[in-house]
Amino acid sequence: MGKEEEQEEQEEEEEEWEEEEWEEEEEEQEEEQEEEEREEEEREEEQEEEEGEGEGGGERGGREEEEEGEEGEEEEEEGEEEEGEEEEEWEEEEQEEEQEEEEREEEEEWEEEEQEEEQEEEEREEEEREEEREEEEEREEEEQEEEREEEREEEDEEEQEEEGEEEMV
For residue 54, the model assigns a pLDDT of 54
For residue 78, the model assigns a pLDDT of 83
Residue 142 within any structural domain of the chain = yes
Question: How many domains does the chain divide into?
Answer: 1
Residue range of the domain that includes 144: 117-153
For residue 13, the model assigns a pLDDT of 86
Residue 8 within any structural domain of the chain = no
For residue 62, the model assigns a pLDDT of 58
Residue 46 within any structural domain of the chain = no
Q: What are phi and psi of 15, to 5 degrees?
A: -65, -45
Residue 121 within any structural domain of the chain = yes
For residue 80, the model assigns a pLDDT of 84
pLDDT digits (tens, 9 = 90+) for 52-101: 765 554 555 556 666 666 777 788 888 888 888 899 999 999 999 999 99
For every residue of 25-47, which 3-state class applies, written as one string? HHHHHHHHHHHHHHHHHHHHHHH
For residue 59, the model assigns a pLDDT of 53
Residue 138 within any structural domain of the chain = yes
Residue 19 within any structural domain of the chain = no
For residue 9, the model assigns a pLDDT of 85
Residue 128 within any structural domain of the chain = yes
For residue 90, the model assigns a pLDDT of 95
For residue 103, the model assigns a pLDDT of 96
* Helix (DSSP H) and strand (DSSP E) numbers for the chain: 2, 0
For residue 73, the model assigns a pLDDT of 79
- Below-70 pLDDT ranges, the chain: 1-2, 53-69, 169
Residue 136 within any structural domain of the chain = yes
Check if the beta carbon of residue 81 is closer than 8 Å to that of residue 28. yes
